[in-house]
Amino acid sequence: MHDIELRQYDIRTDLALEAKEMAQSGKDGRLTGITTETVTEDGITITRMSVDNEEGAKAIGKMVGRYVTLEVPGLRNRDTELQDRVAEVFAREFEAFLERVGVSRNAKTLIVGLGNWNVTADALGPLVVENTLVTRHLFELMPDQVAPGYRPVSAVAPGVLGITGIESSDIVFGIAAQTKPDLIIAIDALASKAVERVNTTIQIADTGIHPGSGIGNKRKGLTREILGVPVIAIGVPTVVYASTIVNNCIELMAEHFRRQTDNAAPILGMLHAISGEERLQLVKEVLQPMGHDLLVTPKEVDSFIEDIANIIASGLNAALHEAVNMDNTGAYTR
């Protein structure tokens, strides 16, 4: 269908923050049903956002729930001191998030690293899992010998459909049914609408993982409804749709004309004409030769992904285990 076919060239983002920005830019004002709070600490911008009701959800196209976003443009410079600080802030925010969601301090936790380990841009989840401190087996095999300050944590990377032949959600469901965690944390690579947010942004959400979100085209979700326990999603944008770059480009050109032109009238008419469906048609045309809508990623994706996976793993270890803090978390992530 024509309508749906073009829809896929619309600007797509997995970040609630960007969805809100887009919704606002159209409205020139505040959105109802959305609460946000932003603080900046030494190069790290933290936005705590809440989609309070269906009105808010509809306005920005994201689910009712809590979202925390860390934006750290400086991560591009691969400064290890900043990386340590981000891990610390992430740990603090994640711990507070767990509390707000009502997860108890010793909730048995299953960490799920979604994505394809053979595709660097999609390997965030598996990389985090590789670096998390797992302890569940110690609680099972020698409960008397586990030092205080730890909780039972297990971690799996279920792979993707093309590798296993099984939906990742089915694998997680099967494992959860067998091991009965109280909390599931799912890590996934996301798509952003802004190249500058790629590999520099972390989103925490209590909404779980939904079909079609992330960059791996899931067909089934991982949600509290399905799994029966809270599912907290941690995501990092690692790619941008090529269509989004083209969309951005068209918008910036329009802006450019608006600014540069005295005799703006006829031009602005033109530019309004290319809003909506016609713009999508134009995007489609630009992308035609590639055959499909490419997901693009900065060339240096390999090292950025590894850095941010380490940040998240360190932060999770510190947030989940009282006995782990930022001074010794390095000992657990290798």
Site for a copy of itself in 58-77 (CB under 8 A): 73, 76
Compute the least distance from the CB of residue 291 to a copy of itself, in Å: 7
- Indicate the residue among 161 and 229 with the shorter CB distance to a copy of itself: 161
Select from 43, 65, 211, 298 the one that contacts a copy of itself (CB under 8 A). Answer: 298
3-state secondary structure of 208: coil
Select from 32, 38, 106, 118 the one that contacts a copy of itself (CB under 8 A). Answer: 118
275 touching a copy of itself, by CB under 8 A: no
258 touching a copy of itself, by CB under 8 A: no
212 touching a copy of itself, by CB under 8 A: no
Compute the least distance from the CB of residue 298 to a copy of itself, in Å: 5
Compute the least distance from the CB of residue 283 to a copy of itself, in Å: 9
Task: For residue 224, count other CB atoms closer than 10 A to its CB.
Answer: 15
Compute the least distance from the CB of residue 128 to a copy of itself, in Å: 13
Using N-to-C axis directions, what is the helix angle for 242-260 and 264-273, rounded to 10°? 160
Compute the least distance from the CB of residue 148 to a copy of itself, in Å: 18
Strands 34-41 and 44-51, sheet pairing: antiparallel
Q: Which stretch binds a copy of itself (CB under 8 A): 63-71, 160-168, 201-209, 315-323?
A: 160-168
Compute the least distance from the CB of residue 327 to a copy of itself, in Å: 11
Whether residue 112 contacts residue 186, with contact meaning beta carbons closer than 8 Å, is answered with: yes
- Indicate the residue among 31 and 250 with the shorter CB distance to a copy of itself: 250
Look at residues 303, 314, 304, 302 and name the one whose alpha carbon lies nearest to residue 130. Answer: 314
175 touching a copy of itself, by CB under 8 A: yes
Look at residues 88, 298, 76, 83 and name the one whose alpha carbon lies nearest to residue 200. Answer: 76
289 touching a copy of itself, by CB under 8 A: yes
Compute the least distance from the CB of residue 164 to a copy of itself, in Å: 5
- List the interface residues with a copy of itself, window 76-95 (CB under 8 A): 76, 80-81
Alpha-carbon Rg of the chain, whole angstroms? Answer: 21
- The residues, any chain, with a CB within 8 Å of residue 101's CB and separated by 6 or more, are 66, 206, 230, 232
194 touching a copy of itself, by CB under 8 A: yes
Whether residue 192 contacts residue 240, with contact meaning beta carbons closer than 8 Å, is answered with: yes
Count of CA atoms in the C-beta half-sphere (13 A) of 241: 23
Whether residue 205 contacts residue 16, with contact meaning beta carbons closer than 8 Å, is answered with: yes
